[in-house]
Amino acid sequence: MTTSPNNYVPRHIGIVMDGNGRWAKARHRPRSFGHNAGRKAVREVVEGCLRHGVQALTLFAFSSENWQRPEEEVGALLDLFVRALDKEVDELHGNGVRLRFIGDLDAFEKPLQRRMLEAMRRTAGNDKLHMNIAVNYGGRWDIVQAARKAAMAVARGDLAIEAIDEAAFDRWTSLSEVPPLDLFIRTGGDRRVSNFLLWQLAYAELYFTDTLWPDFNQISLQHAINDFARRERRFGRTGDQVAQA
């Protein structure tokens, strides 16, 4: 059944961290309790990625659609980001993690923006793991902002229209300079992408698990990586071609 396992650790893992609300509900606690509990899962995944030598990890923390949630929940999430930034950056930095926030950061209040920029600046020289946190992020937004940058370069006269190809376009997206997305994971049981990394998903392997995000740990990550390692990635070729290569 597994003809040609690809035998390698994903270079870049993207995760839709879903299921916090249901996890809290099952415990008769407010949804924010679940978001808070999700922090442990983030630590577990970072540790797991460092251990396996995964080069990049992109986490979906707040989508451009999540503003539609009750004001109280949005407020609790933003508070959580501030507290997490104040508490976790030292350790991430100590572990050689480069932190980046992707998304339309202008929508956040200035103190939160400052904390994000400061964390990015401080960890910019690190190279063990490139950790990207998607906040006020949407895959369509990312494609549109890249298209705008391309259009601006053309309008300035710095770029010929013919020079816009896939590789050039990729450089304007939020995750340029990050290895290709190999593995997409979504926790919480739903099988959808919810406007996460649309451009980068082109050839990612998809992995869905019913585990709710606060319960996700290093063993869960190991399961996902093992599953990935059994996939035959053909990229349009035939299985025989892949076996010969």
Catalytic residue positions, numbered: 18, 66
Mapping DSSP to helix (H, G, I), strand (E, B) and coil, where does residue 15 land? strand
Q: Which residue has the tokens 């998903």?
A: 201
115 annotated among ligand-binding-site residues: no
121 annotated among ligand-binding-site residues: no
- In the bound state with ligand IPE, the residue whose beta carbon lies nearer, of 24 and 89, is 24
**Closest separation between CB of residue 221 and ligand IPE, Å?**
17
Among 18, 142, 182, 205, binds Mg ion (CB under 5 A): 18
- In the bound state with ligand IPE, the residue whose beta carbon lies nearer, of 15 and 56, is 15
Q: Which residue has the tokens 């609790």?
A: 76
DSSP single-letter state for residue 161: G
Whether 186 and 208 have beta carbons less than 8 Å apart is answered as: yes
Mapping DSSP to helix (H, G, I), strand (E, B) and coil, where does residue 76 land? helix
Chain residue whose CB lies nearest ligand IPE: 21
**Closest separation between CB of residue 60 and ligand IPE, Å?**
4
User: What number of chain residues touch Mg ion (CB under 5 A)?
Assistant: 1
Whether 209 and 186 have beta carbons less than 8 Å apart is answered as: yes
d(CA 233, CA 114): 41
**Closest separation between CB of residue 17 and ligand IPE, Å?**
5
Q: Is 162 exposed, middle or buried (0-12, 13-18, 19+ CB in 10 A)?
A: exposed
**Closest separation between CB of residue 196 and ligand IPE, Å?**
7
Which of ligand IPE, Mg ion, none has residue 22 at its interface (CB below 5 to 8 Å by kind)?
ligand IPE
Alpha-carbon distances, residue 96 vs 60, 131, 149, 166, 212 (angstroms):
21, 10, 31, 31, 28
**Closest separation between CB of residue 28 and ligand IPE, Å?**
14
Which residues would be at the binding site for ligand IPE (CB under 6 A)? 16-22, 31, 60-63, 66, 77, 188, 190, 192, 194
Which of Mg ion, ligand IPE, none has residue 141 at its interface (CB below 5 to 8 Å by kind)?
none
d(CA 172, CA 50): 27
Which of ligand IPE, Mg ion, none has residue 77 at its interface (CB below 5 to 8 Å by kind)?
ligand IPE
Strand partners, 57: 13, 131
214 binds Mg ion (CB under 5 A): no
The alpha carbon dihedral of 67, 200, 206, 223 has a sign of negative
d(CA 58, CA 133): 6
Which of Mg ion, ligand IPE, none has residue 60 at its interface (CB below 5 to 8 Å by kind)?
ligand IPE
Contact footprint for Mg ion (CB under 5 A): 18
Could you tell me which residues are annotated as the binding site for Mg(2+)? Answer: 18, 205
Could you tell me which residues are annotated as the binding site for substrate? Answer: 19-23, 31, 35, 63-65, 67, 69, 186, 192-194
